[in-house]
Amino acid sequence: MVSVHGAQMDIENLRLVLATDVGSTTTKARLFKKMENGEYRFISSGEAPTTVEKPFEDVTVGLRNAIREIEELSGYKLLADSAETRIIMPFNGKDTGVDLYVSTSSAGGGLQMIVAGVVKTMTTESSERAALGAGAIIMDSLSIDDGIPLHKKIEKLRFLRPDMILLAGGTDGGTKAHVLEMAEIIRAAEPKPRFGISYSLPVVFAGNKLAAPDVENMLKEKFFVKVTENLRPVLEIENVEPARNIIHEIFMEHVMSHAPGYEKLVKLVSVPVMPTPAGEGKMIRTIAEAYDINVLGVGLGGATTNIYSVYENKFVRSVSANLGMSYSIGNVLKSAGINNIVRWLPFEISEEELYDRIGNKMIRPTTIPQTLEDLLIEHAIAREAIRLGFQHHKSLARELKGVHRERTISDVFEQEVKETYIDMKKINMIIGTGGLLSHTPRRQQAALILIDAFQAEGIVKLTVDSAFMMPHLGVLSTVHPKAALDVLEKDCLVRLGTVIVFSGLSEKNEVIGHVEVKTEDKSYEVEVKYGEISSIPIGLNKRANIQAKPEGNFDVGGGKGKTVTTNVEGGIVGIVIDGRGRPLALPEKFEERRASLLKWFNAVNAYPITGGEIA
């Protein structure tokens, strides 16, 4: 039994569960059922445009449409026959009602936060990781030592409309002055909350515990202050979980309840609504823990690109708030540059035409590609959005290496300037989710996008979220972890296969290694040529022993020229052998590039391209 909204619920006896994600573009409903063998399975889905905006300004309209689609497809009656949206609970054991309803949400811009700390590379960076891990988008981050004059900091802050502020700074028992100065800046700027100008903006304080009473005194008149554990109690430790939990609590109690159109949703759910990226991140962590592996994940959405890493048990989420496949698609074009998008296209298109098509997707974000050309354009943009998102992620996924020099603030600590602690050759699994990756017409397309965008190295398993339900499972796992893991295993994670990458560079199309693949009944030998890609059909639920032997300057994860022997899993795409080298370079000249792209696409049967021509 667990307490859900104050009522006791028999969790062991959950028979039918409804989960939704109210996204910025689409509301996605998923229905899960406990089968006779006690296993939970995904049984139906429904989607409808999100209705947070006018004329509805009520997310439950889109919610009702999405749930009604499930009703039509599954035959279960879930909605009460009332004018107001109401979900029938509990399940009657036959065809009506559900036992649990959970939801995530990122509509209305998601959770938008400002973070503030004392030292930019120390507490502010930790605050960023805490806020991002909680599923927030960071509107701005401030530090005492960020080089911005005090009055400019105030000026920057005062016109922002965040949902929440996270303030940190100082180790426990250390100096209080600097964190109080930051509190003073917040007090002076007095930013107003995004929703409802009449309520107090929440400030979470997660800094030096000795400063907490002073911070509270300074801010309580104008803000709703919540104190939690210091996220850097000592230099060497980052303790972000308590801050993340408080952020989630406030998100539900203060932000969602004031967001227009959300009042009704808040009353419908059985457990608090979670920000979509928090749900997604929770599930990616669950996977890394369940298999004890290093995982990279990407949630490629309409407005944002979320990258998650669980590397040697360290969880980091980054969000590139303005890199997405619809609302912010123009920004991918702007940030990546048109040439970086064109380089992935095996056909000629004028710059003007490409600009217009991207612009039109931006202003009509719910449209989907009808032609192969349009699909290839979206996939090119997806590669660039993930590439840029991952670049940003690496700047957050780095070691905490504060070296104490002296007790002054501006240059007290020295942070090792290392791009990231993530070694691509040690990543065991890459997971893709989000509308585009979950819904590629052929799964091979998702596999290639992930390989190209992340520039995968070593031997990596590739998976995608089959029907975009990671956020749903993440929030479900807070109530019933087994149900979430059952569905994840059986219905959510689609095994695309495994990629074996030969890292290194060459100037000619020479042989750079060999791969032997043995299954119970078959064996394959592949000569790997530079600049080429190939696949071996090792299907779903099949495993194979492989021996990858790179030539002198090439590396498949064991070191240059070192053979790697291991057992890998197949999948829909099979085992992909990538001999294109790393860093991946595409030919400069269009004709050569086109030939390479078509060869790569055809090698894994990614697109309906016949005779080397785009249909």
Which residues form the interface with another protein (CB under 8 A)? 24, 48-49, 52-54, 65, 68, 107-109, 150-151, 154-155, 158, 176-177, 180-181, 184-185, 187-190, 192, 197, 214, 218, 260, 303, 322, 326-328, 330-335, 351-352, 355-360, 362-375, 439, 441-442, 608, 615
C-beta closer to another protein: residue 436 or 483: 436
Least distance from another protein to the Cβ atom of residue 461, Å: 25
The Cα–Cα gap between 300 and 308 comes to 11
C-beta closer to another protein: residue 372 or 595: 372
Least distance from another protein to the Cβ atom of residue 510, Å: 36
Strand order in 16-22's β-sheet?
40-49, 26-34, 16-22, 100-105, 274-275
Is residue 55 reached through a cis peptide bond, with omega within 30 degrees of 0 on the bond before it? yes
Least distance from another protein to the Cβ atom of residue 590, Å: 20
Tokens linked to 178: 């600097």
- Residues sharing a CB contact under 8 Å with residue 416, sequence separation 6 or more, in sequence order: 398, 399, 401
C-beta closer to another protein: residue 206 or 259: 259
C-beta closer to another protein: residue 151 or 220: 151
C-beta closer to another protein: residue 150 or 505: 150
C-beta closer to another protein: residue 192 or 426: 192
Helix (H) / strand (E) containing 186? helix 177-189
Tokens linked to 44: 């139906």
- Residues sharing a CB contact under 8 Å with residue 564, sequence separation 6 or more, in sequence order: 459, 546, 547, 548, 556, 557, 558
Least distance from another protein to the Cβ atom of residue 51, Å: 8
Cβ(247)–Cβ(130) below 8 Å: yes
Neighbours of 558 (CB within 10 A): 17
Least distance from another protein to the Cβ atom of residue 441, Å: 4
Least distance from another protein to the Cβ atom of residue 363, Å: 5
The Cα–Cα gap between 119 and 603 comes to 50
Among 550, 431, 442, smallest CA distance to 500 is for 550
Least distance from another protein to the Cβ atom of residue 343, Å: 19
C-beta closer to another protein: residue 12 or 190: 190
Least distance from another protein to the Cβ atom of residue 218, Å: 7
CB-count exposure of residue 93 (10 Å: 0-12, 13-18, 19+): exposed
Q: Which amino acid, 428? A: N
The Cα–Cα gap between 145 and 477 comes to 40
- Residues sharing a CB contact under 8 Å with residue 249, sequence separation 6 or more, in sequence order: 272
C-beta closer to another protein: residue 47 or 128: 47
C-beta closer to another protein: residue 225 or 397: 225
Among 313, 299, 294, smallest CA distance to 458 is for 294
C-beta closer to another protein: residue 48 or 319: 48
The Cα–Cα gap between 208 and 229 comes to 8
- Residues sharing a CB contact under 8 Å with residue 231, sequence separation 6 or more, in sequence order: 123, 126, 127, 130, 168, 206, 207, 238, 239, 240, 242, 243
Least distance from another protein to the Cβ atom of residue 488, Å: 23
C-beta closer to another protein: residue 31 or 48: 48
Least distance from another protein to the Cβ atom of residue 327, Å: 4
DSSP H helical ranges for 345-457: 351-363, 372-396, 435-438, 443-454
C-beta closer to another protein: residue 154 or 536: 154
Neighbours of 556 (CB within 10 A): 29
Neighbours of 197 (CB within 10 A): 10
Least distance from another protein to the Cβ atom of residue 260, Å: 8
Least distance from another protein to the Cβ atom of residue 322, Å: 5
